[in-house]
Amino acid sequence: MRVKEIASILDTELLTSPPDMDEIDIATACGSDMMSDVIAFVKERVALLTGLTNPQVVRTAELLDIRVIIFVRGKKPSAELISMARDQHIVLMSTHYSMFTACGRLYQAGITGDSGCRTE
Amino acid sequence: MKFEYTIPAMDFNAAGKASTDMKRRLTQLGLPLELIKRVAISMYEAEMNVAIHGQGGRAEVEITTECITARFVDHGPGIADIELAMQEGYSTASEEIRNMGFGAGMGLPNMKRNSDELLIESAPGAGTTVTMRFCLGRGAS
């Protein structure tokens, strides 16, 4: 799924838009405020939904090659964090939906979580 | 090639900088992506442990044509029961740390899963040294 479609489904505000944004293809998503779990379980082509807005969210994304971060519950990161994400070509978006609803809307639209997190 | 990083204690703005810097360097060197990811994930886990539990310390990374060796040395309280610390879900992180998104108790098991060799040297009061080796050509796990 393309970023624009995700943005439409979640009615997001786009905070960063890297030059290759239209080419990013998201297969699945991971919703968590626990970066420890994200590091341990996340797979490829993932969008990360989180309510955390500290620098570790962007560091986690950079280290795991996560290209899309969606802040739920209307959370907005600091200008510094936005700048960090911009430098790393990471798409930041903010949605007013709760974590549960945001995940549900994406799931309903075909982004299933089956391959988003490794559980073996 | 050798690199050394200082890891400050409990500094959430700085924590992760060593791992992200190393990931960029390995990417520039053109190493296989699966290897880079394993190193990046493992180093990040170790770096957060040094910052959160280890009262700060340092990381030393050596890159040869066959292997990458990352050693993390901290000045913390040490680990009394390494076997217990290796169990998934076991964590001594405070509520404050959990609110920052860490302390799920996945760190050491995740380092073991992503490295080819993991050596933990620790004793109460003596700090902890974690050494991880990553070899080229192991393939994705």
Domains of chain A: 3-108 (3.40.1390.20)
The residue with greater pLDDT, A37 or A11, is: A11
Q: Is B20 among the domain residues?
A: yes
For residue B141, pLDDT over 70 is answered with: no
When divided into structural domains, chain B yields a total of 1
pLDDT for residue A120 is more than 90: no
Residue B140 in any domain: the answer is no
In A, minimum Cα distance to B43 occurs at: A63
Question: With a CB-CB cutoff of 8 Å, which residues 48-87 of chain B face chain A?
Answer: 48
d(CA B108, CA B120): 9
CATH number, domain of B41, equals 3.30.565.10
* Minimal C-alpha gap between A26 and chain B (Å): 19
Could you tell me if residue B65 is inside a domain?
yes
Q: Say which residues have a Cβ less than 8 Å from residue A30's Cβ, sequence separation at least 6.
A: A38, A41, A42, A46, A47, A48, A49, A113, A116, A117
How many CB atoms within 10 Å of residue A82? 16
Mean pLDDT over A55-82 rounds to 95
Report phi then psi at A91, rounded to 5.
-80, 125
SS3 B27: helix
Q: Nearest-5° angle of CA A76, CA A47, CA A80?
A: 35
Q: What is the ipTM of this complex?
A: 0.83
Q: B60 in a domain, yes or no?
A: yes
Query: Average pLDDT, stretch A32-55?
Result: 91
Residue B75 lies in a domain: yes
Q: Is B141 part of any domain?
A: no
Q: Which residue of A has its CA nearest to B42?
A: A39
Q: What phi, psi does B117 have (nearest 5°)?
A: -145, 135
In angstroms, rounded to a whole number, what is the distance separating the alpha carbons of residues B110 and A116? 17
Query: Which residue in A36, A50, A59 is closest to B16 by CB distance?
Result: A59
Q: Which residues of B touch A34 (CB under 8 A)?
A: 98, 101-102, 104
- Full domain range(s) for residue B95: 2-135
- Nearest chain B residue (CA) to A33: B101
What local confidence, expressed as pLDDT, does residue B61 receive?
98
Question: Do residues A70 and A95 lie in contact, with contact meaning Cβ atoms separated by under 8 Å?
Answer: yes
Whether residues B106 and A40 touch (CB distance < 8 A) is answered with yes
pLDDT interval class at B138 (50, 70, 90): low
B15 CB within 8 Å of a chain A CB = yes
Rounded to two decimals, the pTM is: 0.89
B110 versus A119: the higher-pLDDT residue is: B110
Count CA within 13 A, CB hemisphere, residue A22.
1
Whether B16 and A35 lie within 8 Å, measured CB to CB: no
